[in-house]
A and B are shown apart, each in its own frame.
Chain A
């Protein structure tokens, strides 16, 4: 600890604290431009100069650490004069086109000059102009270098946080410009973090360009609806049109960062194709109707159907309150146990995944995982699917020296921060983890005498496992060495484990071995739908009730429901926000199966394929149009607020569920609560893990930049459940022949699920799907980047442009999920998680 005297007040701070941080802790404000919490200090702007007793010259406080007994003055006449001088220098070459600049009104330079600036400048020479017109750096970023104050925040955020390294400082002196090489178009993540950190109007959003002024905007605190990282952001609207989304420094786990999907993908809210009125099928055609007509129709149709012959499917992008009310409506009002929250995952696999990733023992902060000695990133394309977790891992590994091991099929951006990157065969993750567990077990056999699950090693041989995983023994030795020398190990449980269920058992085995070796094991689930974990915790699974309790009666999952519909086993479906027809998750055609039902009720925001064949469609609302809570992958429960009313007659799903429940039953057990807080209080009682969760803190700006709000993490679930044992875990791969490839799927950086395809900006960033394959495979096929290739398999064929990836495993092709026009699910036959396809030059 060091004792410092700031403006005469004595305070004691940790050794190595910067003077700026010490002053801010003591409540003394020092103006800054280039300082940004968590980024490397550069001290380039000289705005934060302070006077230190005994030193002749003023010192920049943002890069000077405190020393014991230091006496610091921050408001002497000399400092005030120096600040004026710095600002005069900034303005001497600043474009001063504030009326035109998009930053005008929220510009740090404007604020600074008002507060500390000189009354007039003395610089009379002509200003240096870099260019006359703003130039476009990327489809979402527009640049004006004339306004730059050379703070280098953009360069540092791109390098240290995003890890793209596409911006740099070119030129020197008054010609210094922070831009891409030769001002060329950026080939980057288009995340816009440079826009967020820019203190002036140098980097600007292209979609928001000249749309509004900051004082016209009305914003609200909400959560990004794309992946399950749970980034907090503010969506702002003008005259009912959502115009921009921004992150706030010091709020949420993401602080000032967002990815392209979060920052630019909110504009699906403004889509004119959205449903605005209830639709009821009359004479085979969907006709607009009033709410009371629609509800009467539903009550008439549904009341005649036996409870168990109704299937329920809710999207994992609904709020906890909506999901809870939905399962309550299904289970108690309608009396149906058939309820699921995903069209992709098998409920049995999900239950095993929940158990293996220790979700029942409560939330785990992503910061704890990133601060572990070793972070094993497996089963997820982290940099594309959950970019903010990638940013956090990169930031913390650079700061604290976390050793990152990346195990994936395709290369990813995090490889550059990882000490070890392993490219395993598709479907080989389970084998890799088993091999690691086996090798750890065998090297420490004497220590692990009483290991409980010893029978799980029976019949395993390291060579066979390494062959299955496609990993060399040197790489395995490197992994186990890292595990052995770490006290805490964090494992990620990505969605690939849900796709290839073998990995789940291997994850359990590996974590058990590591625990037996006395290491602290943290398992961080990595999910790709905003409230997927919340959906499971709210009991929107056929076998689980809220709070991970075993349901009194086990119902059907999505696939079984569709198969039952085809076989006449169920009569009606209630679908919220999902599109089983468009996604076709089952072996049988979902369209044919659902046509046999006597009644389909759909609540959605768009007229999806399922909605188009429904008997009644009720228009719903997006996040930012409703209140509620999301539980992210860590188990962090965060509240979001409503920004504006949904268009037309559309209503929040919670209100719709309450009205449907109201018309169906007048007895007890109905869920007619329309206030999300009331429902959340009920959830607190039903799911004890949520009892102690604090929602308040989340919406407050946090002065000390402590992003990790642990009161928001869900607690451990009492009792627990035993998952249904998985019948088989043999890798469901077919043998690959000559000229054939394994097909893997997943999300891309710009698209996840159907929602992102309604966003014009994200569609502009990536319109169609591309076939990704390794350079070696492509040259063997005679394909180069951008050429079209024909992919065939399972009686389905699709033509896609080719994109080459340097670090991808040979013999594998990748096609993203849920792209319009590419039904990637049709390559899969039932029971096969890793199909084989043929690729030809088109």
Chain B
């Protein structure tokens, strides 16, 4: 049985209310944040979060340093995929666009179905498929959720060497497609959680 009528508890409550201890405790948190550095990221116009290397975002297809496609269209990624979101159709190519004469005619991923588990990365025998740090995937157009080989072969916006886990300043880049906001990786500040 709980005793709520003990003498000791009553004295303790009296002291607490007389010295505004609870109030001070609450205000300590509030005021502490008021004067501390802000953790809000002013996304996307001013700042952008650069994820850690282990982050699993949209797929990319890698190339060798000579610019040859690493993908040999073995279809192991599509076989390993638990949601069946990767379609690979191989073809023969003698022009040397890939590391072998077997290259992907179609390499398509449906990100609506993808659950970013990374099994495709694990299955890939040539380390061609990587889940990149691309996370800005929201769109109002359903067709933009399906990515073809041509888009996936483009270089990643965050190079693999960049450690990540920080906030980069955003900058506006004017191109013929319109204005884009990209992260300025040179001025990245580490985030201390």
Contact = CB atoms under 8 A, between A and B. Distances in A.
A97 B90 contact: no
B71 to A, nearest CB: 10
Given A97-B100, A215-B79, A210 B91 contact: yes
B75 interface: yes
Contacts of A216: 75
A99 B92 contact: no
29 contacts: A97-B100, A99-B72, A99-B74, A99-B76, A99-B125, A99-B126, A100-B72, A100-B74, A100-B100, A100-B101, A100-B102, A104-B74, A134-B101, A209-B92, A210-B90, A210-B91, A210-B92, A210-B101, A210-B102, A211-B89, A211-B90, A211-B91, A212-B89, A212-B90, A213-B74, A213-B75, A213-B79, A215-B79, A216-B75
Interface in A56-106: 97-100, 104
A133 interface: yes
Interface of A: 97-100, 104, 133-134, 209-213, 215-216
A460 B11 CA distance: 141
B183 interface: no
B61 interface: no
Contacts of B90: 210-212
Nearest to B128: A99
A56 B22 CA distance: 90
A140 to B, nearest CB: 14
Interface residues of B, number: 15
B90 to A, nearest CB: 4
B167 interface: no
Contacts of A98: 74, 125
Given A211-B90, A213-B79, 8 more contacts: A97-B100, A99-B76, A99-B126, A100-B102, A210-B101, A211-B89, A213-B75, A215-B79
A209 B103 CA distance: 12
A215 B73 CA distance: 14
A97 B101 CA distance: 12
Nearest to B93: A210
Contacts of A133: 101
B182 to A, nearest CB: 35
A133 B72 CA distance: 15
Contacts of B101: 100, 133-134, 210
A452 B66 CA distance: 87
Interface string B159-192: 0000000000000000000000000000000000
A97 B102 CA distance: 11
Contacts of B92: 209-210
* A-B pairs with lowest CB-CB distance, top 4: A99-B74, A210-B90, A210-B92, A99-B125
A835 B101 CA distance: 53
Interface string B46-79: 0000000000000000000000000011111001
A133 B75 CA distance: 21
Most chain B CB neighbours (cut-off 10 Å) among A97, A98, A99, A216 = A99
A98 B73 CA distance: 11
B105 to A, nearest CB: 9
Contacts of B125: 98-99
Nearest to A134: B101
A133 B94 CA distance: 10
B19 to A, nearest CB: 71
A234 B99 CA distance: 33
A209 B101 CA distance: 11
A209 B89 CA distance: 12
A210 B160 CA distance: 31
A217 to B, nearest CB: 12
Contacts of A100: 72, 74, 100-102
Contact of A210 (B73, B76, B79, B126): B73
Interface string B79-118: 1000000000111100000001110000000000000000
B99 to A, nearest CB: 9
A97 B100 CA distance: 10
A213 B104 CA distance: 13
A280 to B, nearest CB: 38
